[in-house]
Structure 1
């Protein structure tokens, strides 16, 4: 299939260009033509600023059901976790498919074309395997296909509730018992045109140290992305020091987990040595600012990590909101609060974290750019809404990053297919209803 999209403005590398024709054949960009002052005959018109598709590098789809219910009253990450367990206990492959399909459609409406699903809800209540041991993971892969976006299923090893402790009753659904059993089950998952299979270590408290290398070697053998929650909470750091005499980062380094295909999620409470280990190994950092502030986790040293060599990506994690533009500006604005100085990242640098580097963290190494040969995945942000109207076009990237929201995404194209057109999902006509119904089913 051949189609030409005409972008009123397009973000190419670090510059905003007016009048850009994007020629697409069989889901890939075959030509990028600047200086097209008017749409070529038959072209699909994209009014606004067209950017590469956004990569949501860290998602727990079922957490979307918590939105609006966990913002009431006081508490900590650990009290929030108890509410999360209650939602997890109600999910089946069928209800998880319905919920994830709606969540991924919400992501498409926000300009997200690829999601990294950090997936640990593997088994039936009590830890009993389904007849298809990967029924829950397959439900997520199918949900992404129905919603029209790409997915990297980061199948997660989650084996213990703490250092030397067996899984609690809630976590039995998460555990395969051993890393070897996890690897055997995960090996049955297969990549497809819209889906890649990666791995994850839930955290150093959830995978015994002696089994960390099993997960790392599984990912290395497949050249697959490997993600891990890292130093999100000071309590985890304290427990790791008590158990092993070192920080979580050092423990991961000593067991071969760090490296260019590995991404640490949050990386919030780090020592200078931790930062040096992550940077020198080119281990990535996925920041999730809306979740990190929603759960009162803290502000991680993202700017320092990047300077030391750790590539940055962004995720919406618990989906307090699904808005990668908000995640991008929040990283800059949180750093301003932490340092009382402005200007740590340009709009172009923040967009790179949300696009090219996010896709790389998920194993989609040829995505996240508007150039020939790349997948035809892009999104268009309106420049005439009440939030974005006014600035001159050459500052369109700054306007998108620092003023626009997910509600300003007008079009989303994935593999050349118009998934969102004029703010409406073309595959799931009423995403709000799909979300409401799938969440209500978990409360009945």
Structure 2
């Protein structure tokens, strides 16, 4: 039997609409009407958005939060700490850490996540008895948290163009693109656990193997993701080796398409922007991570104007808050342009909703008949949001204002409390892993 959810205000077609009744059945929206609540309706106050889709996550990075800021440094010194953490992971360890990361996401309003996954094997590179043990640990964590998971299984073969993996990178590598593709095809999927593919970067995957990744995505009908131009050093190495930018290399390999999402794109050229737009690729910006790592200020407005579709992700989870990612996108654009209002509030909501779902190859992102019944209710009467124009709540709310989260018609969060994983359990997991 279906459920009707009455929303005091709901986000429909890019605007806030009062008194909306959303009928759901079997995990999908079956009706959207306006009018007062009726007896038997579930009631949601505040402003109800479609579920947010987190386009880029590395769940194990959550174990670094608050532990890498003591001595300054750069992306490259941070990477050393990340490799040390990756080296200690076991499938069981990873399941617990990912359960905490994914549950925090649901509490913040994310209802789907793309997990960019490259920790595959034992530290020496040999496979576990089940070569997808880590992938299945992530699946189990997502099930516990109640979030839709797209596992973006990443190919990782070299430490730099033509160079073998470093010792700390061996567990990331399958040895060849063909072995990687064969392993990926063995991962079981279901309605809430999908598989996509990824090339880690042009540092880790050369042109011929980029073509294998693109071909695998085409064969399976799944999205493909890649880290792109996050650091100037990546661009410089690509130019030295291949005589072109990373974006141009992807195009030569046949990887640029509407199915592709490039992550970061912080240091793309004007020609790169035009090429990405012409191919209608998605761009997953991760503003809080890019700020935390000192990656630089990208060109999100130019990319959107060229024809790319913007999505947002939490990446290393220095912060897990969709509203801060949205504001970070606007803040970076303001700092780069010396102007305010570079993105309209509705565009920021679109990056969290329709843009994120497109990036992950998922339905969703709107409160419309036939769409998944994924909803996020946000307070409009908190000290952060009171007095805000409902159309601009994305610029004032934080994750603390999320009261209720519905995934596939089921309440995963009620009154700010996760229904399956108590906060005390999250704290226990994170303390044990520190």
Give 1:396's match in structure 2, choosing from 379, 382, 390: 390
- The CA deviation string for residues 217-254 of structure 1, in whole angstroms up to 9 with x for no partner, is 00011110000000000000000111111110100100
Give 1:279's match in structure 2, choosing from 277, 280, 288: 277
1:435 shift after superposition: 3.5
Q: What is the count of residue pairs matched by the alignment?
A: 434
Unaligned 5+ segments in structure 2 are none
Alignment of 1:38-77 (within 5 A): 39-77=37-75
- The CA deviation string for residues 100-156 of structure 1, in whole angstroms up to 9 with x for no partner, is 111111000000000000000001111110000000011111111110110100000
TM-score (norm 2): 0.98
8 A Cα contact 1:87 1:442, kept in partner = no
| 1:426 corresponds to | 419
| 1:406 corresponds to | 399
| 1:334 corresponds to | 332
8 A Cα contact 2:298 2:332, kept in partner = no
Alignment of 1:185-224 (within 5 A): 185-224=183-222
1:328 shift after superposition: 0.6
- The CA deviation string for residues 156-206 of structure 1, in whole angstroms up to 9 with x for no partner, is 001111111100111011000111110010110132110110001100000
Unaligned 5+ segments in structure 1 are none
Distance in 1 (CA, whole Å) between partners of 2:345 and 2:405 is 20
Distance in 2 (CA, whole Å) between partners of 1:165 and 1:440 is 37
SS of residue paired to 1:152: strand
| 1:96 corresponds to | 94
Distance in 1 (CA, whole Å) between partners of 2:391 and 2:179 is 47
Alignment of 1:17-416 (within 5 A): 17-34=17-34, 36-37=35-36, 39-364=37-362, 366-391=363-388, 395-399=389-393, 401-416=394-409
| 2:16 corresponds to | 16
TM-score (norm 1): 0.96
Distance in 2 (CA, whole Å) between partners of 1:303 and 1:165 is 36
SS of residue paired to 1:123: coil
Where has structure 1 moved over 4 Å in runs of 4 or more?
none
CA RMSD, 1 decimal: 1.0
Distance in 1 (CA, whole Å) between partners of 2:430 and 2:183 is 28
Matched, 1:7 2:7: yes
1:442 shift after superposition: 3.4
Distance in 1 (CA, whole Å) between partners of 2:225 and 2:267 is 17
8 A Cα contact 2:100 2:430, kept in partner = no
8 A Cα contact 1:95 1:441, kept in partner = no
8 A Cα contact 1:91 1:442, kept in partner = no
